[in-house]
Structure 1
Amino acid sequence: MYRIIFKRLLDVLVAGLLFLTILPFVIIYVLFRNKPFFVQKRIGLNGTEFNMYKFRSMSDKRDQSGFLLPDKDRITKFGGFIRATSIDELPQLINVLKGDMSLVGPRPMLPYYMGLYNEFQKRRNEVKPGITGLSQIKGRNLLPWLKRFEYDVFYVENLSFTLDLTILLRTFVLLFRREKKEEGINSPSVEFEGNK
């Protein structure tokens, strides 16, 4: 019952309230930045693609040949701040309100990862992806990819209001502690390359 009806109701209620709270900041950000949103295709429920929104944290700086500079050379000072505090993820509240995502669930992955999953790992797509999830509160970038997928499937198999509430509360605690996102083996620069 929770999985089918009340989870979506909770998503809309909480995401709506949070979005109204941050709306003035969103408006200011949009007004004073040229291209405030970064939009990227991600994989959602049952492998369907959707456009995921984030605040832009990198410039479009290119080298003399016209190629984009490495990520670390394009992150702005403000971009570094919004990444460190996870503010860059707030536009995903729009994805939650649209029904593409949930507040809690496995983090949405890029489409090309679909071909790298084994049957067990594909189960992570049996629920909507989330803004936060079990692997985010269990170690985030420090987790090996395979451990992250284990947590994702554990979440799918044990989804409940109690588990969602626990993950949300733990997420808020971590945010208010402003724990640094550590560069680990699951950092953006170390991609999942399949099961070896």
Structure 2
Amino acid sequence: MKGIERMERFYRRTRSSKKKNQDKKVYRNFFKYSLDIFFSLIMLIILFIPMLFISFFIKVDSKGPVFFKQIRFGLNSKPFIIYKFRSMVINAPVKANQDFDDIKSHLTKVGFFIRKFSIDEWPQLWNVLKGDMSIIGPRALADTDRIVLNLRKQNGADKVRPGITGLAQIHGRNNITDQKKAFFDAEYAENLSAINDLKIIFKTIVLVLGRKGIFKDGQ
């Protein structure tokens, strides 16, 4: 009897796990993707005029292009070009944000303002609309964050599209270790759901309004 009970518990867990994976796939491949396209399009329309003003001020404030473009790694670790408002001087060193001793010394005046309120992230809505990214997901990282990228391959966090904000961002952003970033990324991919995405959006709004975690502690 005990053997039969164990087998029944095993089959119940297996069915539960399969259902969870199916629900996750449906949400990720249909609902989440559809919502990403819809909201990114709406936000690009709403923010079109403000983005024109930001572009003007960036151009007037310092030499260099309006947009910062860089190769990042997304779904299944495939590379794509990310778009952000340029916030740094054109001769700033190319390295991860947390590796700067004093990142503010490399920011332009307008760049400091748009970083402070996360406005530099707005052009990534174009990446979402293109399908390179999602609104919620692991941070889209460059080759300068190779440690985290390698950990994502190992823990399966690269199986979801990167996002403008995500679980790691609301748990410290630039103030947590590479290992913790990869851990939160894997946790997000494993527990992908609409409820978790809504929680992350709410927490992100709170953090942006409070301007927390934008710069590494001590900067």
The answer, yes or no, to whether TM exceeds 0.5 is yes
The one-letter code sitting in structure 1 at the alignment partner of 2:35 is L
Greater C-alpha radius of gyration: 2
Q: Structure 1 residues 53 and 83, CA, compared in 2 at 3 Å: closer, same or farther? A: same
Match runs of 1:96-135 below 5 Å:
96-111=128-143, 113=146, 117-118=150-151, 121=154, 123-135=156-168
Q: Secondary structure of 2:80's match?
A: strand
Q: Cα offset for 1:161?
A: 0.6
- Of Structure 1 and Structure 2, which has the larger fraction of its residues in helix? 2
The residue that corresponds to 2:214 in the other structure is: 181
**Contact 1:143–1:184 (Cα < 8 Å) also in 2:** no
Q: Deviations over 1:99-143 (max 9, x none)?
A: 000000000111361796247645221100000000111111111
Matched, 1:5 2:35: no
Judge which range, 137-146 or 117-126, deviates more.
Answer: 117-126
Q: Secondary structure of 2:47's match?
A: helix
**Contact 2:174–2:213 (Cα < 8 Å) also in 1:** no
Q: Cα offset for 1:176?
A: 1.9
Q: TM-score, normalised by structure 1?
A: 0.82
Q: Secondary structure of 2:168's match?
A: helix
Matched, 1:160 2:186: no
> Where do 5+ consecutive residues of structure 2 fail to align?
1-25, 93-101
The residue that corresponds to 1:36 in the other structure is: 66
Q: Cα offset for 1:75?
A: 1.1
Separation of aligned partners in 2, 1:172 and 1:135: 14
Q: Deviations over 1:154-176 (max 9, x none)?
A: 00100011111110111112112
**Contact 1:49–1:111 (Cα < 8 Å) also in 2:** no
**Contact 1:55–1:91 (Cα < 8 Å) also in 2:** yes
**Contact 1:105–1:130 (Cα < 8 Å) also in 2:** yes
Separation of aligned partners in 2, 1:77 and 1:119: 35
Q: Cα offset for 1:180?
A: 5.4
The one-letter code sitting in structure 1 at the alignment partner of 2:42 is L
**Identical residues among aligned pairs (%):** 41
Separation of aligned partners in 1, 2:76 and 2:181: 19
Q: TM-score, normalised by structure 2?
A: 0.74
Q: Secondary structure of 1:83's match?
A: helix
Indicate the RMSD between aligned Cα atoms, in angstroms. 2.4
Matched, 1:85 2:85: no
Judge which range, 112-121 or 39-48, deviates more.
Answer: 112-121
The one-letter code sitting in structure 1 at the alignment partner of 2:158 is N
